[in-house]
Amino acid sequence: MAQILAVIILLSQLHISFSQSLDTRIGDDKCAQGGLEDSLLSLKMYIDFQLQELEQKVKKENIERLQNLQTQINTLKDCPKGWDKHGASCYMLNTQKLSWEQANVKCRGLSAKLVEIDTMPENIFVANILKSKEPSGRAWLDGTDKTQENTWIWNHSGLPLRFTNWNKGEPNDDKGNEDCMEILSRNGMWNDMPCSYSSMFVCEKEI
């Protein structure tokens, strides 16, 4: 960058020199004057081009620095004690068995939410947390179709499911009373259950 600035300074000095020379020769030689004007125009175009190149380079370097800084900041951020980190979120399995509504309230009290699962890696991570505590356990997720039957959404965000991992034959709304989502530790698959059922649950909070 220092070399580019030096070239620009030199070109600017040449521009001034040419301009002064032009002033002293205006009345002498019309042809020479025209040649100098062409030279100055070319010089100006070259300087403008170099400045644009320099501006783009500086912008690119600044963007890269900001991106690297953000990555470093995210790496330095850690989860509170008792929470496990995955991606940009922290997760905690609560082994207290509560209804789906009670589990929601409990997570909110921890400045979190019942977990919303958007990818298979996240699903595997959550299932492994559950499996490490209860190999044959089950835990509430944030999914529900209470508002509209067979239209499953994430309760906290209100967003439709972008990823699903339903167990075979599920959700089946058995007896017309299964409106809340759970995950099974034995295979990481999802199931619908009555929201009043008492179960463990997983809370999620963003870092």
3-state secondary structure of 52: helix
pLDDT digits (tens, 9 = 90+) for 58-95: 888 888 888 777 666 655 578 999 999 999 999 999 99
Where residue 146 falls among pLDDT bands split at 50, 70, 90? very high
| Best CA proximity match to 104, nearest among 148, 140, 130 | 140
- Global pTM? 0.64
Q: Which of 142, 137, 139, 133 is nearest to 186 (CA)?
A: 137
Contact assessment for residue 200 and residue 104, using Cβ atoms and an 8 Å cutoff: no
Q: Between 15 and 72, whose confidence is greater?
A: 72
